[in-house]
Amino acid sequence: MCQSDLDADDEDNASLHQSDSVNSLVQNVSRSSLSTNGRPANENIEDMLERLRKENSHLHNLLEEKDQQMATLELQVATLHMEVLTLSSERDRLKQENSVLISSLQDK
């Protein structure tokens, strides 16, 4: 595994933990949405909603970064695949050329 793979795994784990924090914030909103007199505690809800929006934005940015990384990796795979095909074709051509040369040497 290369360093970039390990970094990507760390980022994935971090985003999973961040998703857990979003879930806990949602649970906190539902628990603390009512003040002691039964009315909504708007200030707490607004603060929590703002945190949820920021977290959502952060997760969205992480998702976009992952999409970009995947597109880059897909391009690299396609490029490497083309290189393999080219090298394979060249290998086959050289094998055939070597066979012809070996045959001509054996005929002499």
pLDDT at residue 90 in the model: 98
Tokens of 60: 């969205």
DSSP state of 41: -
And the tokens for 2? 């290369």
Ranges of each domain in the chain: 11-107
Q: Cα–Cα distance between 92 and 69 in angstroms, integer?
A: 34
Report the C-alpha gap between 33 and 46 in whole angstroms.
10
- At 95, which amino acid appears? K
Residues 6+ apart with CB under 8 A from 31: none
pTM of this prediction? Answer: 0.54
pLDDT given at position 43: 76
Q: What confidence tens digit (pLDDT) does each residue in 2-26 have?
A: 676 677 677 666 665 656 665 665 5
pLDDT of residue 3: 72
62-94 pLDDT, tens digit each: 999 999 999 999 999 999 999 999 999 999 999
pLDDT at residue 107 in the model: 83
- For the stretch 22-71, pLDDT in tens is 566 556 655 555 555 555 567 799 999 999 999 999 999 999 999 999 99
Q: What is the pLDDT of residue 52?
A: 97
**For position 108, what pLDDT does the model report?**
73
Buried (b) or exposed (e) across 46-78, using 16+ Cβ within 10 A?
eebeeeeeeeeeeeeebeeeeeeeeeeeeeeee
Among 63, 59, 71, 60, CA closest to 19: 59
